[in-house]
Amino acid sequence: MKTRFACFVLLCLSVFAAPAIAQERPYGEGPVVNVSAIRTLDGQFENYLDYLQKNWKPAQEEAKKAGYVLEYHVYSTQPRSPNDPNLYLVVTYPNMAMLDDMEGKMDPIMKKVLNQDFKQADEASGKRQVMRTLVGSELLRELKLK
């Protein structure tokens, strides 16, 4: 009797456990992309792109060399309304974990590339308000279909 009960329990466990074990997600997690929507103020488009060329790009290049960033891009777009962005800054990171303590990772890079500590970099960020408005940002994770 005990043997029949044990077989019944094992059968039940295998029936319920098999689908859970056999199921696999049809995708894997890929890189993470941060998209910042920027609206340059009237007359400031060229100034802001000059800032990106001289400051943002070298910092991204150093982050790329350090393995923090896979790639980065600047895209222009035609705004449909006064509140829409006209630029997108897109930075791709290897994974979500790379974003942990990103400020701490970038501080030495900012010091090296721009010769600014985090307080000076923060102050410079405030000064860019005369050139652009950050409309918003979005964090995306690529799902790689198997």
Position 1 in a domain: no
In one letter, which amino acid is 76? S
Total tally of structural domains belonging to the chain: 1
Name the pLDDT band for 3 (thresholds 50, 70, 90).
low
Position 130 in a domain: yes
pLDDT the model gives residue 23: 85
For residue 121, what is the domain's CATH number? 3.30.70.100
pLDDT the model gives residue 119: 76
pLDDT the model gives residue 17: 54
Position 39 in a domain: yes
What are the strands, taking DSSP E only, across the chain?
27-40, 71-76, 87-93, 132-145
Q: What is the pLDDT of residues 82-113, one digit of tens each?
A: 899 999 999 999 999 999 999 999 999 988 99
Name the pLDDT band for 115 (thresholds 50, 70, 90).
confident
Position 80 in a domain: yes
pLDDT the model gives residue 129: 81
Identify the three-state secondary structure at position 56: helix
Position 88 in a domain: yes
Report the interhelical angle of 102-114 vs 57-65 (nearest 10°): 120
Q: What is the pLDDT of residues 52-87, one digit of tens each?
A: 999 999 999 999 999 999 999 999 999 999 899 999
Is the pLDDT at 133 greater than 60, yes or no? Answer: yes
Name the pLDDT band for 123 (thresholds 50, 70, 90).
confident
- Give strand pairing partners of 100: none
The whole domain housing 74 covers 27-145
